[in-house]
Structure 1
Amino acid sequence: MLKISPKKYAYLENLSDENHLINALAIDQRGSLKKMIAANSSKEVGDEGIINFKKEVSRELTKYSTSILLDPEYGMPAAELRDKNAGLLISYEKTGYDVNAVGRLPDLLPIWSAKRIKETGADAVKLLLYYDVDEDQEINDIKHAFTERIGSECMAEDIPFFLEIVTYDAENDDAKSAEFAKVKPHKVNESMRIFSEERYGVDVLKMEVPVNMTYVEGFAPEGGEVVYTREEALQHFRDQSEATHLPFIFLSAGVSAELFQETIRFAKEAESKFNGVLCGRATWKDSVAIFARDGEEAAREWLRTQGRKNIEDLNEVIKVAAQPWTEKVSVQE
């Protein structure tokens, strides 16, 4: 059981629905989103393009989400346009990582702090950490200390700390390969166990599902390679759930809205004790090309129809599949 302050508890309630489930919208992408817009636009796309797209997503979709995750570089105008009932998470890290350096080491936005994020009216601080549990201990120790600092900062400011872990294999850059799929359950579940330790000060884990669903029996495309039987995949979800006592939510990792919903149903079948989602591209990615090609009004229409449907369909799945985080959290006296 995680024990938190009354103030942190109240912040978590701001990010959740009346049943204490989190169905948050993620649009803190920066470099990748800029590339997506540029790839579909015939004219140069500057900062204004990415800012305006985030504004449209926030204005249209936070009506149906419990909260929204944004970045402080391009996302603050969008934060102002969110629905009055939607909570706010703010990313603390720089986007991406240095592809020429070893270890995918994290870095923070230099003019931000947990205190400044709190002063924006945010309900939580989010940190993205790329992590390979099997990488050199020297590299992982840097990441451990780095995370400890953020946890201490959030504790001092009495604001929830959401840690997003994206796993990788330092020996294999192809995260979509069958080879990586074979080691993914170990890497996801072990990283989850490590960062559940009290020393890191994490309040909520934002996690990948422990398998690549396109390699699961029954989900793999016709003629495609199967890495996990259905029962093996279910067991990996069970093992993940047992790897932590903390609340945890799933990220969508850019899969389609339909596959993400099927994955959540699969987690329910495994009796995973997850507490919601923080879903990004699975909700809105198809509107990027429309925005870049046809403009804001066309994107707005897509968001009001298909984007809304994506969230409302996911909401229905979450209602029956997720468990309230209150079952894992108590308030310190």
Structure 2
Amino acid sequence: MNPLTDGKREGLEKLSDKNGIIRALAIDQRGSLKKMISDGENLANEKSLQRFKALVSETLTPYASAILLDPEYGWPAADVRAKCTGLLMAYEKTGYDASAEGRLPDLLAHWSVKRLKNRGADGIKVLLYYDVDESPAINDQKQAFIERIGDECRAEDLPFFLEIVTYDARITDVLGEDYAKVKPHKVIEAMKVFSHDTYGVDVLKVEVPVNMAFVEGFGEKTIYTKEQAAEYFRAQSAATDLPFIFLSAGVSAELFRKTLYFAKESGSRFNGVLCGRATWKDGATKFAKEGEKAAEDWLHNQGRENIESLNEVLQTCATPWQRAGRFAK
């Protein structure tokens, strides 16, 4: 078991609140955000992307322990974040080559962990699309890729956050019933893989283990009873001794809060969130359709309400990352 070094511990403390809860705001979206803030056929340009990210950062980081940004459009937003807010930087290229098999990842050509650290990053985030049942040849490439990043982060003594987005190569609709039936297996087994010391991961950023739209009492159709869903949340916690945080996956702010309460009631020991669209996506619509002032007003009101309501949930439901088995004293 790799001990937590001084540099990594310091980075995690900067990215979490005084209670050890990671209350992070995510706005490292690039291609998807460009579409969200585009006005009809007029695609958003670099300046628009930078400006919207900066608006979100300036308005909402006083209520977040950290912000996740990208080095392509995010530096202006990093510069205007609240002084008490840590900086997590994405290192991967956005998306993947859909014409190639396996959703293989790639890194930004002009950046390294050293360069991101020198620009002020307190931690590094990499997104990986992963199907535990994909061919061994594909998954071996992905595992080697993560090993290399883990070694970079070790060399620079910087925390490594691995975001795992699961899929099934045979199922096109990850929001549908077929994927909902296999999602617990996909999420939990992927967490087991990348919890191994060889990858150098410090925090896992993961999906909740079920599609809440198919949990009894949460949606119109039931695939999992409440008891089954609760067991999957407990199994997820048992799958790793690393800290892990939930991504919002674009669900509504209300559903995300309800999900976190359910996770806590089920016995999950999750350590916080890295929440993006659930906090600010309607502000992006305002920015596209009504302009900067309308977006800014929305962020100051509904956006702030979204993040403060989420913080109240986390205060009740999340567990300090220092209590994760790997790092507990």
Instruction: Please name the residue that 2:16 is paired with.
Output: 16
Q: Equivalents in 2 of 1:6, 1:166: separation in Å?
A: 29
Cα deviation code 1:132-161 (max 9, x no counterpart)? 000000000000000000000000000000
Relative to the length of structure 2, the TM-score reads 0.98
**Contact 2:132–2:190 (8 Å) recurs in 1:** yes
CA distance in 1, matches of 2:135, 2:32: 28
Query: Given residue 36 of structure 2, which amino acid in structure 1 is its aligned partner?
Result: M
1:246-269 residue CA offsets vs partner (Å, 9 max, x unmatched):
000000000000000000001001
Question: 1:309-324 to 2 correspondence within 5 Å?
Answer: 309-324=305-320
SS, match of residue 63 in structure 1: helix
Match of 2:194 in 1: 195
In the alignment, which of 318, 321, 326 is matched to residue 325 of structure 1? 321
State how 1:1-333 maps to structure 2 within 5 Å: 3-38=3-38, 40-41=39-40, 43-221=42-220, 225-328=221-324, 330=327
The structure 1 segments of at least 4 consecutive aligned residues displaced by more than 6 Å after TM superposition are: none
- What TM-score, normalized to structure 1? 0.96
How far 1:120 moved relative to its partner? Answer: 1.1
1-structure distance, mates of 2:184, 2:131: 12
Give CA-to-partner distance per residue, 1:38-84, whole Å, 9 cap, x none: 1x456442111111100100000001000000000000110001000
State how far apart, in whole Å, the 1-side matches of 2:198 and 2:217 are. 40
Q: Which runs of 5+ in 2 are unaligned?
A: none
* SS of structure 2 residue aligned to 1:164: strand
Q: Structure 1 residues 330 and 182 mapped into 2: Cα distance closer, same or farther (>3 Å)?
A: closer
Q: Name the structure, 1 or 2, with higher relative contact order (CA <8 Å, separation 6+).
A: 1
Contact 1:161–1:204, Cα closer than 8 Å, also in 2: yes
Where 1:4 maps in the other structure, the secondary structure is coil
Q: Report if aligned partners of 2:2, 2:197 keep a CA contact under 8 Å in 1.
A: no
Residues 292-328 of structure 1 show CA distances to partners (whole Å, capped at 9, x for unaligned) of 1111111111000000000000000000101001112
Post-superposition offset of 1:7: 1.5
Rounded Cα–Cα distance in structure 1 between residues aligned with 2:87 and 2:328: 21
- Cα deviation for residue 331 of structure 1 reads 8.7
Cα deviation per residue 1:5-26 (whole Å; 9 max; x = unaligned)?
Answer: 1121111110111100001000
Q: Is the 8 A contact 1:4 1:331 kept in 2?
A: no
Q: 1:157 to 1:325 in 2, by over 3 A?
A: same
Offset, 1:3: 2.1
Q: Confirm or deny: 8 A CA contact 2:35 2:43 kept in the other structure.
A: no
Q: Helix, strand or coil: the match of 1:90?
A: strand
> Percent of aligned pairs with the same residue?
61
> How far apart, in 2, do the equivalents of 1:188 and 1:3 lie?
25
- Gaps of at least 5 residues in structure 1 are none
CA–CA distance in 2 between the matches of 1:300 and 1:330?
40
